[in-house]
Structure 1
Amino acid sequence: MRTILEVQKQLLPDLMDVMKKRYTILRQIMISDVIGRRTLAHSLDMTERVLRSETDLLKSQGLIEIESMGMRISESGEQLLAMLEPMANELFGLSEMEELIEKTYGLQKVIVVPGDSENSEYAKRSLGRAGARALLSVMNDGDVVAVTGGSTTASVAEHLTPSSAMRGVWFVPARGGLGESVEFQANTIASTMAKKLGAEYRLLHVPDLLSNHAYESLVQDSNIQEILGMIRKARIVIHGIGGAMEMAKRRKLAPQTIEEIRDEGAVAESFGYYFNNKGKVVHTMLTLGMRLEDITRTDVVIAIAGGKYKAESIKAVLRFGQEDILVIDEAAATEIVKDL
């Protein structure tokens, strides 16, 4: 059955253009918190005269407030944007990109949120909300959920909303810590998710990168073995995707190792593994946590990433072929479908 939007596109194409324009203005004001008319016109590539006419209308409808410092969205405007969010995918052609990426890479589900999370805090929050919904949609009683670190998965944790407690659910870190900000550590994210949902959690207090001696010592520890056993039984994994060189530098790898990773053609990093553009693992780190064989046995693998410059990395991990659900932003999706 044809949707109302499809009918409107044919019968009232001008109305659709107006709707998209006003939605975009509202969304940009919300993203910016407070913004002046000249700055907003420049960011939207719109003349100030046309923008003034639109913002005057939005103000008369009570959707924005105009102050001496600039314009800000009102509570009614926020509510309207939230109501329109499910329609936005079809309105901006995101649904078509979702279907194309699903078919190309054999995924169960692709979710594309509007905007560019690299440049917009609002788009980043939208990515986190979508990731939270995707995770909740596949969780069952008794699940073990493994989580990687990073700002994107931290945003998912932030947007999980307390619901009826699921029985016997555990959250665990998929790997050790990078030694970065505590809030982006896998341990912190796993505990935050568990607390939000009334679940249990276990922590893995080891660094992500280990020497041979440290690895051999830690892997014999009975407490470490116990938590590793739980991690490797995870039914769901939710993880971010990073650029290979960016992640190598964040891990403070030796310059020689970074050169080797570059020479091997690595373009993406996930789970502590480095992938080339064909989805083949070209470099493996000595670390405790989930292994490739554990990931291939996992029932549901959810990847979440955003930004135009993550597109190559996302494609590499998708070609690895273990993803089930992909949550990305419009900027990344647009780059991915260019080659399709």
Structure 2
Amino acid sequence: MREILDIQKQLVPDLLDAMKKRYTILHHILVSGIVGRRTLAVSLNTTERILRAEVDFLKEQGLIDVEVSGMRVSAAGKQLLESIEPLVKDLFGLTELEERIRSHFGLKHVVIVPGDSDVSPHTKKELGRAGASMLRKFVADDEIIAVTGGSTMAEVATHLTASSSLKGCWFVPARGGLGESVELQANTIASTMAKKTGGRYRLLHVPDHLGEDAYQSLMQDSSIAEIIEFIRSARMVVHGIGEAMVMARRRKVDPETTEHLREDGALAEAFGYYFDRDGNILHKMPTIGLRIEDIHGMDAVICIGGGKSKGEAIAAVLRHGHEDVLITDEAAAKVVVESLPS
């Protein structure tokens, strides 16, 4: 396949350009579910006039259905997208990036989607779709699945559907709430995942960031202790990654600790732990939920995060050495690869 692509690039580069353009349009429609031409043109940074010819072609080929409410990918279009995905990854140069990251960090699987989720909502949606697909691939029957909060994890929940493999599973929040938008909190995401898959869920109604006294007091409560024990029995976790300084602000970390984190070179945050460039833990917040030792003992740890701004943070968490699967985007992946030794 790689040799054929190389030949085509030399002899008919315009053919590959057309293929990339039509794949991108078709894929945008798939991830959107149903979308109008004007909205799609804005998303692709093109004009309706230019888009019209491509949409007409895709419709003639039976790859999309055009309805009053908008365009959606047909069954034939979905089958085509699925069958050409390996070819498209080569076309975008993503296969090589995936293998470099997978082999260097010893991961079981790496999925890289095209684009930069810092600037493209479509790319973030695609991260969610890829995350949902990978969750289904790795889950075991009647699994307890811990999930974190955040906008990318919310996209994963959006793309989950009823599944026999997930129907008997429990979804639980990995930690307490951040006090941010309700729809982005781990509790909400866990319950949404359960409802969309036919699974079950349990919630943790405590704040994420606690003082030491409050932490110790809550841990003495029998009902809190019981749900914490249940969460810590999870064998799979699906989590996001945060930039250290961004997360310190969101968690309202005191100025003195924040300054220490900055001086020590904190780059990443996950599960309330702050990591430096080499993956060393610099600081742990007193949070109720999963601990790092719980993560280390799990059967599947799936990390999802993208955007060029998070590339260094992703690399730092990978260097900690306890991830199994990485789902990221092209922009972040390139930053990760640039950080690897030559």
TM-score, normalised with respect to structure 2:
0.85
The CA deviation string for residues 55-78 of structure 1, in whole angstroms up to 9 with x for no partner, is 5642541559xxxxxxx9843599
Aligned residues of 1:88 and 1:114 also touching (Cα < 8 A):
no
- Looking at structure 2, the residues matched to 73 and 17 of structure 1 have their Cα atoms a distance apart, in angstroms, of 26
- Looking at structure 2, the residues matched to 38 and 214 of structure 1 have their Cα atoms a distance apart, in angstroms, of 49
Change (3 A) 1:285 1:56: closer
CA RMSD in angstroms, aligned pairs only: 2.8
Shifted more, 74-83 versus 321-330: the winner is 74-83
The CA deviation string for residues 48-96 of structure 1, in whole angstroms up to 9 with x for no partner, is xxx97x65642541559xxxxxxx9843599748833624212211111
Aligned residues of 1:63 and 1:73 also touching (Cα < 8 A):
no
Q: Which of 25, 34, 58 is the matching residue for 2:54?
A: 58
Shifted more, 19-28 versus 150-159: the winner is 19-28
Aligned twin of 2:124? 124
- Looking at structure 2, the residues matched to 211 and 125 of structure 1 have their Cα atoms a distance apart, in angstroms, of 36
Shifted more, 11-20 versus 291-300: the winner is 11-20
Aligned residues of 1:169 and 1:200 also touching (Cα < 8 A):
yes
- Looking at structure 1, the residues matched to 133 and 44 of structure 2 have their Cα atoms a distance apart, in angstroms, of 36
- Looking at structure 2, the residues matched to 36 and 153 of structure 1 have their Cα atoms a distance apart, in angstroms, of 25
1:228 aligns to what SS in structure 2?
helix
Matches within 5 A, 1:216-295: 216-295=216-295
Aligned residues of 1:168 and 1:200 also touching (Cα < 8 A):
yes
- Looking at structure 1, the residues matched to 241 and 189 of structure 2 have their Cα atoms a distance apart, in angstroms, of 16
Matches within 5 A, 1:1-340: 3=1, 6-11=3-8, 13-14=12-13, 15-24=15-24, 33-35=39-41, 40=46, 55=51, 57-62=53-58, 74-75=71-72, 80=77, 83-84=80-81, 86=85, 87-164=87-164, 166=166, 168-340=168-340
* Offset of residue 18 of structure 1: 3.3
Segments of structure 1 that go 5 or more residues without pairing to the other structure are 42-50, 65-71
- Looking at structure 1, the residues matched to 205 and 161 of structure 2 have their Cα atoms a distance apart, in angstroms, of 27
- Looking at structure 2, the residues matched to 37 and 180 of structure 1 have their Cα atoms a distance apart, in angstroms, of 27
- Looking at structure 2, the residues matched to 320 and 165 of structure 1 have their Cα atoms a distance apart, in angstroms, of 30
TM-score, normalised with respect to structure 1:
0.85
Letter in 2 for 1:61: F
2:267 aligns to what SS in structure 1?
strand
The CA deviation string for residues 133-186 of structure 1, in whole angstroms up to 9 with x for no partner, is 011111111211111111111111111011226464211111111001001111
